[in-house]
Chains A and B, each alone.
Chain A
Amino acid sequence: DTEVTQTPKHLVMGMTNKKSLKCEQHMGHRAMYWYKQKAKKPPELMFVYSYEKLSINESVPSRFSPECPNSSLLNLHLHALQPEDSALYLCASSSFDRGSGNTIYFGEGSWLTVV
């Protein structure tokens, strides 16, 4: 079972709403990720936080705003989304140990539907 916990599992929001996705891990990992996955496609990287600092932003639109309150928590704030943003949003974490390989562990995802 995954040790990366995501809430909510399902979210339906209107295009004018503001909502947040939450992620938590207690593995002591120092890197946390947000991925987006459309149906029948591989996960696509959105953001990476390393040691609580944003290290990678894959040119994600500003309507997605990540936040890392501490080393165990990662949020994704959503505002003014479009229907095409509907997807499975996956949170992941890794020890980011450059000496032993960067195995990334995923949560079960939050299914987002924008109406």
Chain B
Amino acid sequence: GESVGLHLPTLSVQEGDNSIINCAYSNSASDYFIWYKQESGKGPQFIIDIRSNMDKRQGQRVTVLLNKTVKHLSLQIAATQPGDSAVYFCAESIQGGSEKLVFGKGTKLTVNP
């Protein structure tokens, strides 16, 4: 069925290091994926998205990788900063299908100075 999960619930990194947040999804029909960042007390903030016809997409300091073979998604943050500390959610949906967006459990990223 439709479900999105994460391998690790928490991640702690040193400032300046690169961070990798992973996500597994189970619905092979999902073809559109989004990463959101949610800071404490705020709503989810769009970071980057990727469609299933792509393997990689880069933004400012962030890269999303998609491996459809093993249904795996990852978010890489370069030169992690204290302001990157937040909970990160991956989410999946089906283009041309339902308006539903299914969220994964979330990973809490803590950046140590």
Task: Let me know if A8 is at the binding interface, CB within 8 A.
Answer: no
Known pairs A98-B96, A106-B36, A108-B43; list 13 more (Cβ under 8 Å).
Answer: A2-B45, A33-B99, A42-B106, A90-B44, A94-B99, A100-B95, A101-B32, A101-B95, A103-B34, A103-B49, A104-B46, A105-B46, A106-B46
Q: How far is the CB of B31 from chain A (nearest CB, A)?
A: 9
Binding site for B on A (CB under 8 A): 2, 4, 31, 33, 40-45, 48, 50, 55-56, 90, 94, 96, 98-109
Binding site for A on B (CB under 8 A): 32, 34, 36, 42-46, 49, 51, 89, 93, 95-106
Q: Taking CB as reference atom, which chain B residue is nearest A102?
A: B93
Q: Taking CB as reference atom, which chain B residue is nearest A1?
A: B45
B49 in contact with A101 (CB, 8 Å): yes
CA distance A99 to B36 in the complex (A): 21
CA distance A40 to B106 in the complex (A): 8
CA distance A102 to B100 in the complex (A): 9
